[in-house]
Amino acid sequence: MSSSHAQPSPGEQAIEPRLATEWSRALNLRVPVVNAPMGGVAGGRLAAAVTSAGGLGMIGMGSAGSVAALCTELEHTTGRFGIGLVDWVMAAEPGLLDAAIAAAPTLISVSFGTSLSWVEPVRDSGILTATQVYNVAEARRAQDAGIDVVVARGAEGGGHGATEMATLPLLDAVLDAVSVPVLAAGGIGSGASLAAVLAAGASGVWLGTHLAACSESLLSDSGRRALIEADGTDTIVTRAFDIAMGLPWPTRFPARVLRNEFTDRWTGHEDALRTDRAAREKVTAAIDADDPSAAPVDAGQGVGMITTATSAAQVIHEICSGAAALLSRPISGSGPT
Ligand SMILES: Cc1cc2nc3c(=O)[nH]c(=O)nc-3n(C[C@H](O)[C@H](O)[C@H](O)COP(=O)(O)O)c2cc1C
């Protein structure tokens, strides 16, 4: 790892020793928290806020990712940041990976693909590499390709992803299978869940939904309200929005979103949706009107833990202080006090 990865971030205070992992110390992170690169949600402002709070902020270039969109978000970054790309978007936008490398981030992730040919040029540029994996075979493949860190992303997670395994069994299996650092993702959003994955051996967390609701995210106000109001049982895994919007997501990666009228009507009826133009146009109109009854709001099963719209610093503080308290007390089985 080059020494540039170990520069302290602005506003960084002392490392939180009860949560520090070998990986987070190597990156000089105060807390072992990476914000998941969430397309249309995790922009430069959120990345800057997460880095300033002691984690590693990431800019997400999702389905609508482009060189121009990346440049816009880069203007809002301060301190260290990472960039997350979607494999099929990167393939359709030939300049995107080069632009990401040229921005000299600490970390680049590419997910949702099968080719790992991007790993070598990114590493050759002195940038750390990450990818999300859903089973042991993928984790081993990524390690063999030279990846620096794998993200074990369980089915509980928000947004797109395979739904093969839940976060804890996946984390267990991946930790057993590879020697590279492993970040845990999917349904994490409390001191208890952070403590659980760190105690299991994760090098950190890759936090999506909880940071999506923060005031610095690009999420619309009604999307943020919907996250706050939702319960953990209010999510569904669906391809309905991707079909309605004509997005070429591989079928293996449906999205976990908040249930709404549209998902209730069309999940399980995707073939009919393909030929129903009016239904498909409903989604575009709902997105334009910021209407969460028919627009997609990506969310993991940890969404029930979100009770208010607050800053990324506050979310990270609450989750990390909760985890630190749990990890430093004797096990009593009585739950957090
Ligand atoms: C709003 C939202 C958008 C997302 N967009 C992306 C993306 O563009 N690229 C990506 O690699 N992962 C994306 N994800 C998935 C995250 O990387 C991660 O797997 C997930 O957020 C972890 O689960 P959690 O949401 O329960 O924390 C997204 C997740 C959410 C919630």
- Report pLDDT digits (tens) over 69-113: 999 999 999 999 999 999 999 999 989 999 999 999 999 999 999
What is the CB < 6 Å shell around ligand 1?
36-39, 41, 60, 62, 84, 86, 111, 132, 153, 156-159, 161, 185-188, 206-209, 212, 298-300, 302
pLDDT of 1? 36
CA distance 302 to 233: 9
Please choose from 112, 160, 257 the residue to mutate so as to test ligand 1's pocket, defined by most ligand atoms within 8 A of CB.
160
Segment 123-131 long-range contacts (CB within 8 Å, at least 24 positions apart): 123/148, 125/101, 126/2, 126/4, 127/101, 128/1, 128/5, 128/82, 130/82, 130/183
- Report pLDDT digits (tens) over 187-211: 999 999 999 999 999 999 999 999 9
- Please state whether 301 falls in left (phi above 0), alpha (psi between -120 and 50) or beta: alpha
pLDDT of 210? 97
Q: Is 263 exposed, middle or buried (CB count within 10 Å of its CB: 0-12, 13-18, 19+)? A: buried
pLDDT of 220? 94
Its pTM stands at: 0.94
- Considering only CA atoms, which residue is closest to atom 6 of ligand 1? 38
User: Hey, what amino acid is at 6?
Assistant: A
Atom of ligand 1 nearest to the CA of 156: 26
Please choose from 33, 34, 35, 38 the residue to mutate so as to test ligand 1's pocket, defined by most ligand atoms within 8 A of CB.
38
- Considering only CA atoms, which residue is closest to atom 11 of ligand 1? 111
Please choose from 149, 211, 297, 298 the residue to mutate so as to test ligand 1's pocket, defined by most ligand atoms within 8 A of CB.
298
Atom of ligand 1 nearest to the CA of 297: 1
With a cut of 70, which residues of the chain have pLDDT below it? 1-13, 332-337
CA distance 182 to 178: 8
What's the gap in Å between 333 CA and the centre of ligand 1? 31
What's the gap in Å between 267 CA and the centre of ligand 1? 20
Atom of ligand 1 nearest to the CA of 187: 26
What's the gap in Å between 177 CA and the centre of ligand 1? 24
- Which residues are 298's β-sheet partners? 257
What's the gap in Å between 160 CA and the centre of ligand 1? 7
Strands 82-86 and 58-61: parallel
pLDDT of 12? 45
pLDDT of 14? 81
- Which residues are 207's β-sheet partners? 35
What's the gap in Å between 186 CA and the centre of ligand 1? 9
Nearest residue to 55 via CA among 4, 97, 107: 107
Could you state, in order of their start, the residue ranges of all structural domains in the chain? Answer: 18-218+301-327
Q: What is the DSSP string of 1-48?
A: --GGGGPPPTT-----TTT--HHHHHTT-SSSEEE---TTTS-HHHHH
Question: For the domain bounded by 18-218+301-327, which CATH number is listed?
Answer: 3.20.20.70
Q: Which two tokens stand for residue 315?
A: 């979310």
Q: How far is CA 63 from CA 41, 86, 103, 121, in A?
A: 12, 7, 20, 23
